[in-house]
Chain A
């Protein structure tokens, strides 16, 4: 059953021209004696491209065929990252879908892959990951300020801004949703 215009709201996922979209803004408009207009700004769930839509009361809007799968990270091969699902079937996710999240993968980490019509379109990692700093300028150990930052590199060459007191070889906690430094992990 597709959605009716009256079902539309911010945060709802819809399918437009066969593509998956998220409603990022919604407003209800109705002249006193006229028919309602359901205004939406929709964002493509893969490309991030946005457009506006004005639906009328009798319009129906397709529901995207979405499926979530819990998977475990196995290995990288060419431009694909290979995971295994609960049935030990391999699931390939293209690098383009992972984006910077590829740098936050760890062996056997559990992730959630979102599929649209069988194609992977998004992946959710655990919120936090611990990574080792492979390269950074020597730290100012005495400097405890957390608002003065310098670049540091972790595995795969991902560059992250860390406070001055961080040193090479140290472990840090990273927020995988934002790709930013959270705290130093002291043993």
Chain B
């Protein structure tokens, strides 16, 4: 049947209008937030020769190339070239990720700022969320499905070490076990996080550092945090790793781990590594799931509500 003539689809799409309007206000709010703070909006390639190497993120092939899983590597090349404040909002693709909070094609916001670290990025995130709530639903409360989330006050920051020790009975920073970490995160830690305020899980074990810098004072811990709002993992932030040698080592280890799991191994981006070698300034950055934030603001419990087509 021609979808346009399917009355069921027409009704379903029409019913989504309030949520889609909320989403549109969110996009406008994010752009005005960063533009007013001197961030340059950029667009980097969606189809890439070298997706970022991560153990558990799989890229969708596109001919002889791939669709980006994040714009991170291109944005960092711009930072190495002297740009100091950048943001980008656009489609990213992750193969096989589909569920209430996942869709293989989704909208990601990434921003980077030189001269700061993951703590400075948390301040950005707090200001961004407060403005986004004001501009989309008014006031300072997200009407999430799990109950109101007050973004105005203090946001508790809990270390991964404390959260796991308290709620799961072990410390993954002292001794990391990947499978157990993920299962306990799902079953024990996330359900114990507060729902009435945004909450930050900070200081990931070095083994789960991804592209973040290790804490110079305690190299067992990565300067990485994840933001939870209404039980939903919403944003991931780093003090960015700027050391080219360490980056190259992590890529090599990740490539080997992917090979052992029988996953495709993407080539390492030589331009990204030479940009790091040429000298990348100290910086922090974050990636935020725009669809998930729109879902929370619309009071929905699935991405279905805020994606016109899914």
Q: Is the CB of B182 within 8 A of A34?
A: yes
Q: Is the CB of B178 within 8 A of A30?
A: no
In angstroms, Cα B184 to Cα A11, docked, is: 27
User: Known contacts A34-B182, A35-B182: does B99 contact A29 (CB below 8 Å)?
Assistant: yes
A interface majority secondary structure: loop
In the complex, A33 has a CB within 8 A of chain B: yes
Contact with B along A20-42 (1 / 0, CB 8 A): 00000001111111111100000
Name B262's closest neighbour in chain A (CB-CB).
Answer: A58
Q: Is the CB of A34 within 8 A of B100?
A: no
User: Known contacts A29-B186, A31-B182, A58-B261: does B100 contact A36 (CB below 8 Å)?
Assistant: no
Q: Is the CB of B185 within 8 A of A28?
A: no
Q: Is the CB of B185 within 8 A of A34?
A: yes
**Chain B 29-82 residues near chain A, CB threshold 8 A:** 54-57
User: Known contacts A28-B98, A29-B99: does B181 contact A34 (CB below 8 Å)?
Assistant: yes
Q: Is the CB of B236 within 8 A of A27?
A: no
In the complex, B102 has a CB within 8 A of chain A: yes
Q: Is the CB of A27 within 8 A of B96?
A: no
Interface size class of B (residues with CB under 8 A): 20 to 34
In the complex, B226 has a CB within 8 A of chain A: yes
Q: Is the CB of B185 within 8 A of A31?
A: yes
Most buried by B among A32, A37, A57: A32
Name A35's closest neighbour in chain B (CB-CB).
Answer: B56
**Chain A 6-57 residues near chain B, CB threshold 8 A:** 6, 27-37, 54, 56-57
* Complex interface: chain B residues within 8 A of A32 (CB): 226, 233, 236, 287
* Complex interface: chain A residues within 8 A of B102 (CB): 28, 30
Which of these, A27, A33, A37, contacts B54 with CB under 8 Å?
A: A33
Distance from A29 Cβ to chain B, minimum over Cβ atoms (Å):
5
* Complex interface: chain A residues within 8 A of B226 (CB): 31-32
Q: Is the CB of A34 within 8 A of B208?
A: yes
Contact with A along B225-262 (1 / 0, CB 8 A): 01000000100100000000000000000000000010
Which of these, A27, A31, A54, contacts B100 with CB under 8 Å?
A: A27
In the complex, B97 has a CB within 8 A of chain A: yes
Contact with A along B183-227 (1 / 0, CB 8 A): 101100000000000000000000010100000000000000010
User: Known contacts A33-B56, A35-B182: does B236 contact A6 (CB below 8 Å)?
Assistant: no
Distance from A33 Cβ to chain B, minimum over Cβ atoms (Å):
5
In the complex, B123 has a CB within 8 A of chain A: no
* Complex interface: chain A residues within 8 A of B185 (CB): 31, 34
Q: Is the CB of A34 within 8 A of B56?
A: yes
Which of these, A28, A34, A57, A58, contacts B99 with CB under 8 Å?
A: A28
Distance from B296 Cβ to chain A, minimum over Cβ atoms (Å):
16
Q: Is the CB of A37 within 8 A of B98?
A: no
* Complex interface: chain B residues within 8 A of A35 (CB): 55-56, 178-179, 182
Most buried by B among A28, A29, A56: A29
User: Known contacts A6-B96, A27-B100: does B183 contact A33 (CB below 8 Å)?
Assistant: no
Q: Is the CB of B183 within 8 A of A54?
A: yes
Contact with B along A159-187 (1 / 0, CB 8 A): 00000000000000000000000000000
* Complex interface: chain A residues within 8 A of B56 (CB): 30, 33-36, 57
**Chain B 78-119 residues near chain A, CB threshold 8 A:** 96-100, 102
Distance from B78 Cβ to chain A, minimum over Cβ atoms (Å):
23
Contact with B along A122-141 (1 / 0, CB 8 A): 00000000000000000000
Where the two chains meet, the residues of A that have a C-beta atom closer than 8 Å to any C-beta of B are 6, 27-37, 54, 56-58
User: What are 12 sample pairs from A and B whose C-beta atoms fall under 8 A apart?
Assistant: A27-B100, A29-B99, A30-B102, A32-B236, A33-B57, A33-B208, A34-B178, A35-B56, A35-B178, A36-B96, A54-B183, A58-B261
**Pairs of residues from A and B, 10 with the lowest C-beta to C-beta distance, nearest first:** A28-B99, A34-B182, A35-B56, A32-B236, A33-B210, A29-B186, A6-B96, A34-B56, A28-B102, A31-B185
